[in-house]
């Protein structure tokens, strides 16, 4: 007769870890099951006899469960019963504070824990949680901790999340050079991660506002970095980034991103007008009046949505204002031409305080341009997917 070991809390918590490895690889079914599995494991843990918590392996499994987003109620009860050893208490109380939402206390308590002395999987969780807690007010320390977390938990969801926290912290720190190294590593390691969208907007805005694509080869860098992503995810990010570049007035990079989308994913983009629409907006910013008309017509033939139609029309109007300003002599607000009089002997006009002030045609033109730019900004917001 084969003897089987009795169920243990550590076995139950391991189920969550296995499920999350599939999530990190992009398994949509595993992602949909995550909340239910975490809840079910919590119920199972609560049903164990008090004696199982005398085993340090089970106590550490409970800490890991809470650090991974599990219900902290059982951990509070075990801690209040004094089942944690004195040297385990900072870890237990730090995890409890994190689970209950007391971020400052969690950061202070977990900061006292030497996570390198813990089992690797738990050590990765502790380093990751500390990185998350430090990300906003100490990006360099968050970068260090996130790097430690991913090295301690290779191939897991902790590894994927640590990479994400690393990218966010690098952006907060404003380190363009490090971002160029980290981003491609993240996306090549976890190309099917369902969580890239969490950082996509932050990433696109940083790249645009810091003019990262203005450097030689930079557009090629971002296109190669996102190449491992699934086509729909890649398309969505290119859309976000091209829009951010247009907002920042970077015509050349916006057009290059749109060209990449059209060239590399043309078959998928059939009937999708946004790359052409952003190329039109880029042409307006770059005053490419020659190519604008043909590009506008191409977008219109694609039967785009109404916001894109308005965007293209506004871009065309703005380009027309700049490339073909109104004829100054046709403006009725200008004075009629006079006969030539030598400057020294010309009669000097007397100031007429009752006369209607004349409007400078240049000011009219600039006011119109500012209005169209504001309209473009509103329309760009409407095109966000």
Which residue's entry shows tokens 């490339």?
323
Q: State how far the Cα of 234 lies from the Cα of 227, in Å rounded to an integer.
A: 7
Closest CA to 383 of 254, 267, 297: 254
SS3 65: helix
Does residue 142 register a pLDDT over 80?
yes
Q: State how far the Cα of 94 lies from the Cα of 84, in Å rounded to an integer.
A: 13
Top pLDDT among 320 and 203 is at 203
Query: What is the sign, positive or negative, of the torsion defined by CA atoms of 254, 256, 260, 263?
Result: positive
| Residue 193 pLDDT class (50, 70, 90 cuts) | very high
- The radius of gyration of the chain's CA atoms, rounded to the nearest angstrom, is 30
Q: State how far the Cα of 125 lies from the Cα of 95, in Å rounded to an integer.
A: 10
Does residue 372 register a pLDDT over 90?
no
Q: How many CA atoms lie within 13 A of 182 on its CB side?
A: 22
Greatest Cα-to-Cα distance within the chain, rounded to the nearest angstrom: 124
The pLDDT, as a whole number, for residue 162 is 97
Closest CA to 95 of 83, 79, 82, 81: 79
> How many residues would you count in the chain?
385
The pLDDT, as a whole number, for residue 363 is 55
- Per-residue pLDDT of 312-325, as tens digits, reads 777 666 656 555 55
Closest CA to 115 of 123, 124, 105: 123
The pLDDT, as a whole number, for residue 367 is 60
Does residue 361 register a pLDDT over 60?
no
Structure tokens at 345: 């002997």
Question: Does pTM surpass 0.75?
Answer: no
Q: State how far the Cα of 367 lies from the Cα of 86, in Å rounded to an integer.
A: 71
Percentage with pLDDT > 70 across the chain: 71
Which has the minimum average pLDDT: 77-86, 165-174, 362-371?
362-371
The pLDDT, as a whole number, for residue 224 is 95
Top pLDDT among 85 and 343 is at 85
Which has the minimum average pLDDT: 116-120, 203-207, 265-269, 310-314?
265-269
The pLDDT, as a whole number, for residue 33 is 96
The pLDDT, as a whole number, for residue 248 is 85
Does residue 147 register a pLDDT over 60?
yes
Top pLDDT among 270 and 164 is at 164
Does residue 220 register a pLDDT over 80?
yes
The pLDDT, as a whole number, for residue 130 is 97
The pLDDT, as a whole number, for residue 330 is 44
Does residue 183 register a pLDDT over 60?
yes
Does residue 100 register a pLDDT over 80?
yes
Mean pLDDT of the chain: 81
Q: Where are the alpha helices (DSSP H) in 2-83?
A: 9-24, 28-46, 56-67, 73-80
Rounded average pLDDT over 85-105: 96
Task: Give the angle subtended at the CA of 340 by the CAs of 335 and 343, to the nearest 5°.
Answer: 95
The pLDDT, as a whole number, for residue 309 is 72
The pLDDT, as a whole number, for residue 324 is 56
Rounded average pLDDT over 130-152: 95
Does residue 296 register a pLDDT over 80?
no
End-to-end CA distance of the chain: give it in Å, rounded.
61
Structure tokens at 304: 């785009």
The pLDDT, as a whole number, for residue 328 is 42
Residues 144 and 180: beta-carbon distance below 8 Å: no
- Per-residue pLDDT of 222-263, as tens digits, reads 999 999 999 889 988 998 998 898 888 887 888 888 888 877
Residues 105 and 97: beta-carbon distance below 8 Å: yes
Does residue 4 register a pLDDT over 60?
no
Does residue 344 register a pLDDT over 50?
no
| Residue 292 pLDDT class (50, 70, 90 cuts) | low
The pLDDT, as a whole number, for residue 120 is 87
């Amino acid at each position: 007769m084969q003897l089987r070991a009795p169920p243990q809390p550590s076995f139950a918590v391991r189920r969550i870890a296995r499920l999350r490895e599939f999530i990190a690889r992009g398994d949509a079914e595993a992602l949909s099951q995550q909340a239910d599995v975490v809840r079910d494991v919590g119920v199972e843990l609560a049903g164990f006899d008090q004696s199982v918590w005398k085993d340090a392996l089970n106590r550490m499994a409970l800490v890991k469960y809470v650090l991974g987003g599990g219900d902290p109620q059982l951990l509070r009860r075990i801690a209040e019963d004094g089942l944690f050893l004195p040297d385990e208490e900072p870890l237990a109380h730090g995890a409890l504070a994190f689970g209950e939402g007391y971020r400052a206390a969690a950061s202070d308590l977990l900061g006292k824990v030497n996570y390198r002395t813990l089992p690797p999987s738990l050590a990765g969780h502790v380093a990751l949680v500390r990185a998350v807690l430090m990300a906003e007010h100490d990006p360099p320390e968050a970068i260090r901790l996130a790097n430690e977390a991913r090295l301690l938990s290779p191939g897991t969801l902790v590894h994927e999340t640590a990479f994400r926290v690393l990218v966010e912290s690098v952006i907060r720190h404003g380190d363009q050079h490090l971002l160029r190294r980290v981003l491609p590593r993240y996306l090549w390691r976890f190309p099917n991660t369902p969580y890239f969208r969490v950082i996509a907007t932050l990433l696109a805005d940083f790249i645009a506002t810091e003019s990262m694509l203005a450097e030689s080869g930079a557009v090629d860098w971002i296109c190669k970095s996102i190449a491992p992503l699934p086509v729909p995810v890649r398309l969505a990010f290119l859309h976000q980034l091209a829009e951010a570049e247009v907002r920042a007035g970077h015509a050349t990079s916006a057009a290059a991103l749109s060209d990449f989308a059209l060239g590399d994913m043309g078959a998928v983009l059939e009937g999708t007008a946004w790359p052409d629409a952003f190329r039109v907006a880029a042409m307006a910013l770059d005053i490419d009046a020659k190519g604008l008309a043909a590009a506008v017509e191409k977008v219109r033939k694609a039967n785009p949505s109404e916001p894109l139609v308005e965007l293209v029309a506004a871009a065309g109007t703005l380009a027309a204002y700049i490339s073909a300003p109104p004829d100054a002599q046709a403006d009725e607000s200008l004075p009629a031409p006079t006969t030539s009089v030598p400057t020294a002997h010309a009669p000097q006009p007397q100031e007429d305080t009752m006369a209607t002030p004349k409007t400078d045609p240049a000011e009219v033109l600039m006011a119109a341009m500012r209005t169209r730019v504001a309209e473009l900004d509103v329309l760009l917001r409407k095109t966000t997917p």
